[in-house]
């Protein structure tokens, strides 16, 4: 494809890794090894209410145990670290301020109650709910009034009129009308960054060339592309993979306990990776031998480790 391949696996460890995570990690790892590229392992841990050190370590241990070694990330370091988002908060604050200075973003003083009331009105009017731009062009007097009321402001990104079109390397050309991509929050009132800001900044700062992820994140792409363009960097190529589903066609996620990849439970590993292998269309694993042989080997390793 002409450019150095740099892919990233960036889970948000709010629970054990699940089959969808492992499929993405396998795609990333295999693509990096096939092309002689770089596999980056990044931890998206800005959700401090749900991410725990235990889950972060479990994610690290799971990839290590599966043999999906990374070139940059926790424990191995790299030139673009740190690789935990909680250690990059100053970087996000700097970029949020640049967006404010460039007028690409603005302070929004709307309260949760006001926002919900306006969403209810939109739904009643059969209008797609979304931020209505109330604080887009506040006067100095209005800002002073809100501050005088003690209101907490978030930083909200300004989406321009028009649309975003990009080429998904799996789906082809995709277009999002900005009427359905309203201005979105970058930074909470307490100063903590949201996922959309952190992931866009990290992908360009870490020089990610290809983003492989589930199709449930497709609708985020217009926001991330706009952010990356405002950052002034080249945007990555995007590949949105079909969701991993059960036999009933239902999405498998970390809320689906039976699909969690728990290295203390060999049966969960076997079920999860067998399903991942089927969705990948893999007949042979990247480590030599068949997928089933690899799974059996991993289960045997687990039983030996625990003297079972």
Tokens standing for 149? 């009321």
Mean pLDDT of the chain: 84
- List the alpha helices (DSSP H) in the chain: 19-35, 53-66, 89-101, 112-124, 140-148, 195-205, 221-231, 266-280, 291-305
Pairing status of strand 105-108 against strand 154-157: antiparallel
- Give dist(CA 75, CA 73) in Å, integer: 6
Residue 196 has pLDDT above 90, yes or no: yes
Residues of the chain with CATH 3.90.800.10: 91-195
- Give dist(CA 218, CA 238) in Å, integer: 9
- Give dist(CA 189, CA 113) in Å, integer: 15
Of residues 307 and 179, more confidently modeled? 179
pTM over 0.85: no
| Domain covering 91-195 in this structure, CATH number | 3.90.800.10
User: HSE (CB half, 13 Å, CA atoms) of 19?
Assistant: 27
Residue 156: the pLDDT is 98
| Domain covering 6-85+199-305 in this structure, CATH number | 3.40.50.620
Averaged pLDDT, 152-173: 94
Catalytic residues, which ones?
Answer: 254
Residues of the chain with CATH 3.40.50.620: 6-85+199-305
Closest CA to 256 of 55, 11, 16, 13: 16
Averaged pLDDT, 5-22: 87
Averaged pLDDT, 166-181: 93
Q: Which of 20-34, 69-83, 127-141 has the lowest mean pLDDT?
A: 20-34
Residue 249 has pLDDT above 90, yes or no: no
Residue 305: the pLDDT is 60
Q: pLDDT band for position 273 (50/70/90)? A: low
By CB neighbour count within 10 A (0-12 exposed, 13-18 middle, 19+ buried), where does 288 fall? exposed
The CB-based long-range contact list for 228-233 (8 Å cut-off, 24+ gap) reads: 228/200, 228/203, 228/204, 230/99, 230/102, 230/104, 231/95, 231/200, 231/201, 231/204, 233/204
Residue 34: the pLDDT is 84
């Amino acid at each position: 494809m002409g450019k150095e391949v740099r892919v990233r696996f960036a889970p948000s460890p709010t629970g054990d890794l699940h089959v969808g995570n492992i499929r993405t990690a396998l795609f990333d790892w295999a693509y990096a090894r096939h092309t002689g590229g770089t596999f980056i392992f990044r931890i998206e841990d800005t959700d401090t209410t749900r991410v725990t050190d235990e889950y972060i370590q479990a994610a690290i241990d799971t990839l290590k145990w599966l043999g999906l070694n990374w070139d940059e990330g926790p424990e191995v370091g790299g030139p673009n670290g740190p690789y935990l988002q909680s250690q990059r908060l100053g970087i996000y604050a700097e970029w949020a301020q640049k967006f404010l200075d460039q007028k690409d973003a603005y302070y929004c003083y709307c309260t949760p109650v006001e926002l919900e009331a306006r969403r209810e009105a939109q739904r009643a009017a059969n209008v797609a709910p979304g931020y209505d731009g109330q604080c887009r062009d506040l006067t100095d007097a209005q800002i002073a009034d809100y501050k005088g009321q003690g209101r907490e402001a978030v930083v909200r990104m300004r989406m321009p009129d028009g649309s975003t079109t990009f080429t998904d390397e799996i789906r082809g050309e995709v277009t999002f009308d900005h009427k359905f991509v309203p201005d979105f929050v970058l930074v909470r009132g307490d100063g903590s960054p949201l996922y959309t800001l952190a992931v866009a900044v990290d992908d360009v700062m870490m020089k990610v060339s290809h983003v492989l992820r589930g199709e449930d994140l497709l609708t985020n792409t217009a926001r991330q592309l706009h952010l990356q363009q405002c950052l002034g960097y080249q945007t990555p190529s995007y590949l949105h993979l079909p969701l991993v589903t059960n036999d009933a066609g239902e999405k498998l996620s970390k809320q689906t306990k039976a699909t969690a990849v728990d290295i203390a439970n060999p049966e969960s590993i076997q079920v999860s990776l067998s399903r991942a292998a089927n969705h990948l269309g893999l007949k042979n694993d990247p480590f030599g031998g068949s997928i089933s042989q690899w799974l059996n080997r991993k289960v045997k390793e687990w039983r030996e480790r625990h003297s079972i």
